[in-house]
Amino acid sequence: MKPIKVGLLGIGTVGGGTFTVLKRNSSEIARRAGREIRITVVADRNLEQARKIVGNDARIVDDAFAVARDPDIDIVIELIGGHTVAKDLVLAAIENGKHVVTANKALLAVHGNEIFAAARDKGVMVAFEAAVAGGIPIIKALREGLSANRIQWVAGIINGTTNFILSEMRDKGLPFADVLRQAQALGYAEADPTFDIEGIDAAHKATIMSAIAFGIPIQFGKAYVEGINRLDAVDIAYAEQLGYRIKLLGIARKRDEGIELRVHPTLIPSSRLIANVEGAMNAVVVQSDAVGATLYYGKGAGAEPTASAVIADLVDITRLHTADPEHRVPHLAFQPDQVQDIPVLPIGEVITSYYLRMKVADRPGVLADITRILADSEISIDAMIQKAPEEGENQTDIILLTHQTVEKNANAAITKIEALATVRGKVTRLRLERL
Same domain? For 66 and 186 the reply is no
| Number of domains observed in the structure of the chain | 3
When computed from its CA atoms, the radius of gyration of the chain, rounded to whole angstroms, is 24
Secondary structure class of 188 (helix, strand, coil): coil
The Cα 253–Cα 230 span in angstroms is 25
Same domain? For 158 and 279 the reply is yes
**Domain presence at residue 47:** yes
Same domain? For 130 and 211 the reply is no
Same domain? For 106 and 151 the reply is no
Same domain? For 21 and 97 the reply is yes
Same domain? For 232 and 186 the reply is yes
Same domain? For 156 and 283 the reply is yes
The Cα 75–Cα 67 span in angstroms is 10
Please report, for the chain, how many H helices and E strands are present, in that order.
Answer: 15, 17
The Cα 245–Cα 76 span in angstroms is 42
Same domain? For 127 and 251 the reply is no
φ and ψ of 254, to 5 deg: -95, 125
Same domain? For 155 and 251 the reply is yes
The one-letter amino acid at 243: G
Residues listed for the chain: 435
Same domain? For 128 and 203 the reply is no
pLDDT tens digit at each of 435 positions of the chain = 899 999 999 999 999 999 999 999 999 999 999 999 999 999 999 999 999 999 999 999 999 999 999 999 999 999 999 989 999 999 999 999 999 999 999 999 999 999 999 999 999 999 999 999 999 999 999 999 999 999 999 999 999 999 999 999 999 999 999 999 999 998 888 899 999 999 999 999 999 999 999 999 999 999 999 999 999 999 999 999 999 999 999 999 999 999 999 999 999 999 999 999 999 999 999 999 999 999 999 999 999 999 999 999 999 999 988 778 888 899 999 999 999 999 999 999 999 999 999 999 998 899 999 999 999 999 999 999 988 887 778 899 999 999 999 999 999 999 999 999 999 999 999 999 999
Alpha helices in 173-321 (DSSP H): 176-186, 194-197, 200-214, 233-241, 303-320
**Domain presence at residue 36:** yes
CATH (domain of 84): 3.40.50.720
The Cα 210–Cα 112 span in angstroms is 13
- Out of 338, 365, 385, pick the residue that ends a domain: 338
**Domain presence at residue 344:** no
**Domain presence at residue 345:** no
Q: Say how many C-beta atoms besides its own lie within 10 A of residue 3's C-beta.
A: 15
CATH (domain of 407): 3.30.70.260
The Cα 282–Cα 200 span in angstroms is 16
Residue range of the domain that includes 371? 351-432
Secondary structure class of 161 (helix, strand, coil): helix
Residues with Cβ within 8 Å of residue 355, at least 6 apart in sequence: 235, 238, 239, 242, 244, 267, 399, 400, 401, 428, 429, 430, 431, 432
Same domain? For 171 and 282 the reply is yes
**Domain presence at residue 346:** no
CB 23, CB 307: distance < 8 Å: no
User: Catalytic site residues?
Assistant: 205
| Residue 407 CB-density burial (10 A; 0-12 exposed, 13-18 middle, 19+ buried) | buried
Same domain? For 72 and 155 the reply is no
